[in-house]
Amino acid sequence: MSFSGQVKTELCKKNIHKACCVRAACYGFGCFARYLDEKGLVLQTERALVAQTAAKLFRRLGIRGEIIQKQHAERTIYEFAVKQPDEVSMLLLNFGLTGREEVLRLDPSIFVCESCFFHFLSAAFLSCGTAANPEREYSVEFASPRHALVEDLADQLRQRGFEPSLTERRSARLLYFKASEQVEDVLTAMGATSASLEIMERKVYKELRNKANRIANCENANIDKIVAASGSALRAVQILREHQSFETLPEELKQVARLREEYPEYSLAELGQLLDPPLSRAGVCHRIKKLTNLAEEILKRSKEEEV
């Protein structure tokens, strides 16, 4: 099942206790159904559970409809429809509509208590919403050809502290959230708390994985630096030995040179801890620099003598 399907399944399973919230949820189904007018209501969905949830809530409102299963190409469509004249009249009366509205607008008076709006939002998502797989991206979208209705929904969300974005997609008006925190908040507000927690868990996993990768990359870079520095020091010691200059070195330089030969994989700080007394990284670096400078001088003299 897709992540969007998980969200819708979770929303369908939640309980609505108050009569005003049942009415608000039915209003959400109606506003974002395929059509809602004087002929009645038709809600189309690819999920049987969504159609069944809509039918159950409308029955609690005293309105009965029917669920029809249709086959479209390779897809099965479930259609919840209210078409009987007396049922349609009751439906329109409940929502304060005539069915002949040229433009359907959201009526805030439907939201009697604070929970009403979020049950409305949940039903709207079941009707026209999608949620992206959080492994790829964070996104919750509501799409409807009723542009004014989507604008009204955006206003209601802003009044409650949300920050939806709006755009056009083909002939539909699209309301969406992309920031992970906003996606988590809107899912929680609708009642999809498990889906919201899954996003949080996946986000934490991604952050830990990225941190581990950064640490590994940093460690690899440090290893490369150690190898390069070690190779340079070992070449210097080799030159000093080949030109019989090693034994004439001060004892502190010979100690560092021998340790570098014995422990080529060690960092300068680790080499410093092997000295007696221990020496700081800067101190070891200073001594190795002296070794490399002496080796460079020897090579320079050799070249001059050859000329």
What secondary structure, in 3-state letters, does 138-205 show?
CCEEEEECCHHHHHHHHHHHHHCCCCCEEEEECCEEEEEECCHHHHHHHHHHHCCHHHHHHHHHHHHH
The answer on pLDDT for 182 being more than 60 is yes
Burial of 103 (0-12, 13-18, 19+ CB in 10 A): exposed
pLDDT tens for each residue of 69-96: 988 778 899 999 999 999 999 999 999 9
**Predicted local distance difference test score (pLDDT) of residue 300:** 80
Amino acid at 246: F
The model's pLDDT over 14-60, given as tens digits with 9 standing for 90+, comes to 999 999 999 999 999 999 999 899 999 999 999 999 999 999 999 99
pLDDT tens track for 264-286: 878 888 888 988 888 898 888 88
The Cβ of residue 125 has, within 10 Å, a number of other Cβ atoms equal to 26
Domain edges within the chain: 3-191, 207-306
Structure tokens at 8: 């819708």
C-alpha to C-alpha distance for 244 and 20, rounded to whole angstroms? 97
**CATH architecture of the domain with residue range 3-191:** Roll (3.10)
Predicted confidence at residue 288, as pLDDT, reads 84
With a pLDDT cut of 70, the percent of the chain lying above it is 93
Question: How far is Cα 83 from Cα 126, in angstroms, rounded to an integer?
Answer: 21
